[in-house]
Amino acid sequence: MAEIVDGALYTNPRPAMPHAVAASLLGYYLTGPFQVGQGGPGGWWIIDEPELHLGGDVLVPDIAGWRRSRMPNPPDGAYATLAPDWVCEILSPSTRRLDLDAKRPVYAREGVRHLWLVDPADRTLEAFELTAGAWTRIATAADDEPVRVAPFEAASFSLADLWP
């Protein structure tokens, strides 16, 4: 996978299995209630690894979500130019610095309202909300704690369900 951030090209191998499992299961737990409306309010598009063209940057978050009120249908092409409302990055040793140091400021610049960071090695989730252009931590969860966090507080899941 390749991304361009602040003019620099980053290439990374496919993620290790703990990363892939956490991303797949998180997408599963959010898609039912928030995209399909099963046990939740619906109203979202939840998309795995969408390519985002944001200004001169090309980013590929692990999972992103758009409120249908802002994006009634996903784009027909290979990428989106509308910044998501929510982004989740699954942290891996090979991408941790890119996710934390390079991509986070781009998400803030583009007005992404919510950012989740999931760390399979530490079995944690940190949730942030964009406030006045800066990230404010709004929640943390570890191990097997229940997760009911903005913007998806209408349904919950156990964080332990993301770990193999």
The pLDDT tens digits of the residues spanning 8-20 come to 999 988 888 999 9
Beta bridge partners of 52: 59, 80
Beta bridge partners of 119: 124
Average pLDDT over residues 133-150: 96
Instruction: Give me the count of residues in the chain.
Output: 164
Domains and CATH numbers, the chain: 2-162 (3.90.1570.10)
Whether the CB-CB separation of 65 and 84 falls below 8 Å is answered with yes
What pLDDT digit, counting tens, does each position of 38-89 carry? Answer: 989 999 999 999 999 999 999 999 999 999 999 999 999 999 999 999 999 9
pTM metric for this prediction? 0.96
Whether the CB-CB separation of 144 and 130 falls below 8 Å is answered with no
pLDDT of residue 135: 98
Average pLDDT over residues 110-127: 97
pLDDT of residue 47: 97
Structure tokens at 120: 């399979």
Q: Say if residue 1's pLDDT is above 90.
A: no
pLDDT of residue 33: 95
Structure tokens at 87: 């982004």
Compute the distance between CA of residue 133 and CA of residue 109 in angstroms, rounded to an integer: 7
Query: 135: part of which helix (H) or strand (E)?
Result: strand 134-142
Angle at 140 between CA 135 and CA 141, to 5 degrees: 150
Sign of CA dihedral 27, 81, 91, 128: negative
Non-local CB neighbours of 46 within 8 Å, separated by 6+ positions: 27, 30, 31, 34, 35, 63, 64, 65
Residue matched to tokens 């583009």:
110
